[in-house]
Amino acid sequence: MTGVFDIIGPIMVGPSSSHTAGAVNIGRVARQILNCKPYRVEFTLYGSFAQTYKGHGTDRALVAGILGMTTDDPRIKNSLAIAKNEGIYCHFKGSSEPTYHPNTVRVGLNCINEQFDVVGISIGGGRIIIKEIDKVPVNITGEYHTLICSYTERLGMVSKVSSVLAAKNINIAFMKVSRDEAREKALMVVEVDEPLHDEIIEIISRLNNILHVKYIEKIEL
Amino acid sequence: MDKLKFHTLQDWEALSRRLGLSLHELVVKLEAFTSGKSEGVVKEKMLQNWLVMQQAIADGFAKEGATMGELADKEALKLKNAVSKGIVRDDRLSKVCARALAVSELNAAMGRIVAAPTAGSCGILPAVLATVGEDINSTDDEIVDALFVAAGIGIVIAERASISGAEGGCQAECGSAAAMAAGAVVYLYNGAPEQVFHGAALALKNTLGLVCDPVAGLVEVPCIKRNAILAVQALAAADLALAGVKSAIPPDEVIDAMGEIGRCMPAIYKETALGGLAATPTGIKLKERIAREKS
């Protein structure tokens, strides 16, 4: 059932929940996937995002998310200047190529040690879905605390990760495993009910065959 | 928890009566159960929304510069100045209009608002509640109660029809906001549940078929002024309901009719900016100007 605060709320910076609030959330999730501060971020906008991004402030909203702001932050309007001051170079381009959804953005993030490419869609009311991380298809909504583990494809990885979580009393809400075509690199997305402490993330990242661990905090809508 | 759920306005009224609760008390209890939070936390969150709504009215009047697409430039202030010069009468009508403009313009200028039920329709509820509340000296608590009633009406509309312009056109966004506001005003005046629902129905009926045709796809034309004039309609609908005027079609059936009209509405009138005002020669020119200036 629809909640009271889905009707009166959220408190947000306008003008549009899909083109502004959703864009902040995509930026925030993308920033959390990168473990260090980016110096360069490239945004490719598709569909309605490409056509109306200036008028809806989608560009400012995406950058605000990269800076860690939430959808109700009054600084969203000035995010481009704030990013510049912090030494983050942001570049925008539109694309008319067909893609997942009318409101799609590809975010290319660069920092000294890492480089990531994230594709997100804004599906209305500030809700989003991350569709790709580094070309691997995913389906992350950010409605739960989410753990993303990339690893070398080996038997028993799911049970290793889930035992760590169970031992720490963390309940798994949903879990999905996917892998690349060569069956070498795999990705495990685990959505959990409780927030994860750094310690748990540290234990999981030290497991054999684990390449990267990313943790995305739940988006409060 | 299931015993608190309602899917029609009629169910909501019957359920409240059976449990000996007022309309807003049932909504508060239901939200507390579904969210796992205490009733106090739920009420506090709604009070926070009301405080941000009031701040948005003030910010909207104080804001400098035009909206993002520059299709509206301090329209709320124009009306306020006309009132202070005596050109326009200082009454509920001019107040509610100016306040709805202020909040909607603020939204289009990337200011902080409360979606009610959406960002595109965010001017109606704050304008109507601030104006009526001021008129009859309502306390914040009374207005918060009225907001829970507005939310209850919105929940039924969202479940049976839609509150999204992309799904149902503007009738689903600004129409729903006007219905919620009308019901909330009747509640502030201590109207009976039946009067609350008829107020909502009268407001919603008058927006049936209203299309979402935003120029250049932005939440500016016609959205900003539509918020202002629909806020006035919400007041008129509430007055009628308080006077005992009823909608000949029962409120739940009006909601269902809105849903049906929305489903059958062509896609060019559902936020795609391909029809109506967006597709007029001037609408297209404005779109091209914005694309040129902003790229």
Interface-testing mutation among A7, A17, A45, A121, with chain B (most B C-beta atoms within 10 A): A7
Q: Cβ–Cβ of B159/A1 closer than 8 Å? A: yes
User: A150 has which bridge partners?
Assistant: A187, A212
pLDDT at B107 over 90: yes
CA torsion sign for B143, B157, B155, B158 is negative
Q: Cβ–Cβ of B69/A55 closer than 8 Å? A: yes
Mean pLDDT, rounded, for B247-266? 98
Report the gap between the CA of B85 and the closest CA in chain A (Å): 31
pLDDT, position B294 = 58
pLDDT at B295 over 60: no
Q: What are the residue ranges in chain A where pLDDT is below 50?
A: none
pLDDT, position A118 = 95
| Count of residues making up chain B | 295
- Closest Cβ opposite residue B159 in set A2, A124, A125: A2
Partner B contacted by A77 (CB < 8 A): yes
Q: Cβ–Cβ of B295/A54 closer than 8 Å? A: yes
pLDDT at B96 over 90: yes
Percent of chain B residues topping a pLDDT of 70: 99
Non-local CB neighbours of A98 within 8 Å, separated by 6+ positions: none
Partner B contacted by A108 (CB < 8 A): no
| Banded model confidence at residue B66, pLDDT cuts 50, 70, 90 | very high
Mean pLDDT, rounded, for B32-47? 96
pLDDT, position B292 = 85
Q: Cβ–Cβ of A3/B159 closer than 8 Å? A: no
Partner B contacted by A56 (CB < 8 A): yes
DSSP letters, chain A, are ---HHHHS--EEESS-IIIIIHHHHHHHHHHHHSSS--SEEEEEEEHHHHHHTTTTTHHHHHHHHHTT--TT-GGGGGHHHHHHHTT-EEEEEEE-S--SSSEEEEEEEE-SS-EEEEEEEEEETTEEEEEEETTEEEEE-SSSEEEEEEEE--TTHHHHHHHHHHHTTPPEEEEEEEE-TTSSEEEEEEEESSPPPHHHHHHHHTSTTEEEEEEEPPPP-
| Banded model confidence at residue B1, pLDDT cuts 50, 70, 90 | low
Partner B contacted by A98 (CB < 8 A): no
Q: Cβ–Cβ of B31/A13 closer than 8 Å? A: no
Question: CA B195 to CA B237: how far, in whole Å?
Answer: 10
> Least CA distance to B47: which residue of chain A?
A8
Report the gap between the CA of B177 and the closest CA in chain A (Å): 10
Partner B contacted by A96 (CB < 8 A): no
- Closest Cβ opposite residue A7 in set B110, B151, B218: B151
Report the gap between the CA of A211 and the closest CA in chain B (Å): 37
pLDDT, position A185 = 86
- Choose among B82, B113, B148, B81: nearest CA to B224: B113
Q: Cβ–Cβ of A48/B217 closer than 8 Å? A: yes
> What's the one-letter identity of residue B128?
V
Chain centroid, CA A129 distance in Å: 8
pLDDT digits (tens, 9 = 90+) for B143-189: 999 999 999 999 999 999 999 998 999 999 999 999 999 999 999 99
Asked if residue B125 lies in contact with residue A9, where contact means CB atoms within 8 angstroms, the answer is: no
Angle at the Cα of A23 from the Cα atoms of B66 and B114, rounded to 5 degrees: 60
pLDDT at B2 over 90: no
pLDDT, position B255 = 98
Question: CA B54 to CA B50: how far, in whole Å?
Answer: 6
Partner B contacted by A55 (CB < 8 A): yes
Report the gap between the CA of B119 and the closest CA in chain A (Å): 6
Question: CA B122 to CA A196: how far, in whole Å?
Answer: 36
pLDDT, position A52 = 87
pLDDT digits (tens, 9 = 90+) for B75-88: 999 999 999 999 99
- Choose among B13, B30, B78, B32: nearest CA to B252: B13
Between chain A and chain B, how many beta carbons pairs sit less than 8 Å apart? 137
Average pLDDT, chain B: 96
Partner B contacted by A189 (CB < 8 A): no
Q: Is the peptide bond before B222 cis (omega within 30 degrees of 0)?
A: yes
Chain A residues with CB-CB distance to B1 below 8 A:
none
